[in-house]
Chains A and B, each alone.
Chain A
């Protein structure tokens, strides 16, 4: 009799085993609620815990979120005096039917399982189910780098049922646009998260039909500061350093050449450094434009000095030929002495630093040298006519000075103009 009584007791008590309570044995988890009938609506609610990383090279993002499903399964209803829900262990999920939501375009994902599977199952007496899990998903995001690093990327995470089409399962956002919540301190080091919002659409697969798809969209705006410090500022400094060369005497050949060459080398290193952490895209990025234009400026400063030097040499040769024709003991133009020994000398070729003029210079020579010196320092047309009739050389020397003089204005002016255009276009 008391065996019968025990049976009786079990059916009377409502604090029974969960499986008996939910009648899991009768529950066929392979069949959805209302199998063969109308589509079952499943509400989805998402709370984004964090955006772990955005990878440009792989073009993906990693997000950790709480994903909650809400649906009604009559088979799981149980009698209850209070209307309180009952929370069950996550392992019960294996025995009941749950929606098979997956993340479209995801590369890797997992349900956290420390210390146990992060799964919550809560059943209400009328059969409503709340099923929640904590998931980390890495999903693809097509990024457009044509304005990198002054760009904004729009990425989205897509949820869809894998097996059930529109006719079997209707996926929808439970609270419309408020279904998506984010933790208050969600932030990324390199990006500013502009907004999160939700949308939903239908997706068609030719072999399997129409599916409901839910989207979690967010826009990320990149912080420019790091790239300013890392790339733009060094490039600008290198260009400015190459302008220093115009202010150095054009007779200091090794100095100007090595200054130009070393700035070219540094620009080349900066350019290589930027592309190391970027995907190999087939279009030009905004940072590429800046670096390459700066590289061209630095390159041109080297060419400018080559032109100056070449013209000076040409001028010298002309002068030498002229001297052979017109016998005069003109002092060698000071530019020539510079090239030979690298020392700076005054315009008077006779007073070379480190070399003492001896007194054995014949008076006449000295006088003529003085005359020439005066001529050159005054740079007057008349004296030019007197001493060096038809001599174009002096004018060329004046012109090489002019190239440098003009460069001192043109290069900075053009570079500033380029900067104005660049920052106004891209900001």
Chain B
């Protein structure tokens, strides 16, 4: 460990000596600024090479483990939990009639429930469409009640885009309301 540490220091010192010579020759302030960073940059590069707790010589002999791809990151517009994933399908019993199981009697009850759910969902979505452009009153937590012109909601109905939001501090031209903060909204049809 000592020998590689010494070698590291020697190399840094060598860089500095070389650069000091360069500084004398080029006495321009911009170059001076640049060269003053070079030793630090060199140290940084040498530190990176010394990473993985390795001795300096071993870097030349070792190959990094190859990777198939990087881990997938979050999707920008969704909170995830893909409902088409095998785990979701297996662990979240839906009321949809499955093709393999469920007798005909329970099947029809499931179908009826699904029909009602679909109808309610459609009504909700149509209400959102009808609300577009209208002046809506939002009842929120902590007895907050604001008026705004409804624009749109995002795909998961997590946020509501509104214009001309009337707040006690003034009228906000454009705003985003968090759906979870909204208890109810009402508007004139």
Q: Say if A and B assemble together.
A: no
Interface residues of B (CB under 8 A from A): none
